[in-house]
Chain A
Amino acid sequence: MSVELSKQGQVLTATGLSAGYDGRPIVSGIDIQATPGKVVSIVGPNGSGKSTLLKSLVGVVRVLDGHVKIDDDDVTNLASEEVAKRGVGYVPQIDDVFPPLSVRENLEIGGYLLNRREVPSRIDAVLEFFPRLKGMMTRKAGKLSGGERKMLAMGRVLMLSPSVLVLDEPTANLAPLVATQLLEEYIRGFADHGSTVLLVEQRAKAALRISDWTYVLGGGRVVLAGAPKDLEQNPAFVESFLGGRPAAH
C-alpha cells in the first residue's frame, strides 16, 4: 500500500457484552477481540445478531451490559462520533452512504473531523486507493453501482485514517469477482498494513480465506470460535456454513 490510509491498529475488545433495542438484548454474553494486523471475522445465520453486535461496538446501538474497549480506553456507550474520533471506522450493512450527496461530498463528510486544509489531500489519498471513484466525483452516491458504492462507503471511513475497521457485510450484492477483490486485496490489505479489521461476512468460505480468527454467532451468542483451518475441520461448522456434506458416522 503506497499511501498511508489506515493507521497502526489498536485492540478492540468486547467483554460480557449484551446489547439490543428498547432494552431487550439481541446479543448477550459476547466476548470477542480484534487485534492489529489481523482480520477477525464474524459469521452466522441471518438474524443471529451480527449487525447488532457491530452497532453496539461503535455506539449506534445501546450496550446493556459488559464493556467495549479500544486498547485500554473504555468506549462503552460513547456516542458514535466519539468512537469515530478514537480511530474506529464503521461501514454499516445498509445505508452506508449519503445518496443525495455527490461522491466528493460523501468523502468530505467522511473527513468532517479533519482540519479543513487536510481534506483535499486525504481525498486524493483515498482516490489513489480506489481509482475507480476518480471519474465520478460529481455523481450522486445514490446513482453508483453496488461495487462503486461500497468503495465509496469504505472511502468515507478511510478519510479519518482509522486504526480499526469495522465492516458489516461489505461484499453483499457484489458480483463474485468484485467481492473477492474487495476481500482479498483491500480488506486483507488493511490488516497486512497493520490495521485492525473486524468483518461480518455472509460468504463463510471467502471470509475464512482471509481471516486469522473467526467467531460464529448463533441466536445472539458466540457458539464457536477458532482459526479458519480448525473451523474447516469442524463437522458442524462445515455442514452449516460451508455447504459441505454432513459429518460421516
Chain B
Amino acid sequence: MKEKVQVSGGTGLSAKDVSSGKIFVTDDSLDCAYAWDTGVAVNRYLAELKNGRIIATECRKCKRIMLPPRLFCELCYVPSNNWVYVQDTGVINTFSICHVHWDASRIGEGEKPHLPAVIEIDGASEGMGIMHLLNEVEPDQIKIGMKVKAVWKPEAERTGSINDIKYFKPIE
C-alpha cells in the first residue's frame, strides 16, 4: 500500500555531537523568586495548621465540605465561607512509592523513597483528598483504604505551612 506520510526534519543529536563541540550550545540559568500571598481562604487554613488543626469550608449550596478551604465553591460558584473543623485522620485514597527526585535523578543508596499519597480527610466530604506524604510505614505495607493520622511538628516549629504536618502514619 502506498505510503504518503510526510516527514521532514527532526535531526537527532547524540551526546557526542554536543561533547565533541560539533554542535554549539549556549547556556543560561534562570533564578526566579516569588512571594505568594496565601489568600483569604488558604491563609486561615495555614493559621489553623499552625494551631495543629485542619479546617475546611462548606459550600452554601452543594454542602461539600472542602479541602483545601476555598473562598468560593468552584462547582456552584457561590461563597463557601462556612468554616468547619475536620479531623486530622483519614484514609489513603491512592499512593505511590517514588524512587526518582524532581529532576529525574534517582534516589541514592540507603535513601528512602518518597511516599506521596492522596488522603481523604475524615469530616470532609467523601472523596475530598489532600496530597501529603506517608511515613512510619514500610513501603510494601501501604494499602489503599488504610487509616492514617497526621504527625504534627512540635508547636514551636510550626510556621503556618502544609509542612506543619510532617506526614501521615498508619493507625490500626
Are A and B physically bound partners? no
| A interface residues (Cβ-Cβ under 8 A, vs B) | none
| B interface residues (Cβ-Cβ under 8 A, vs A) | none
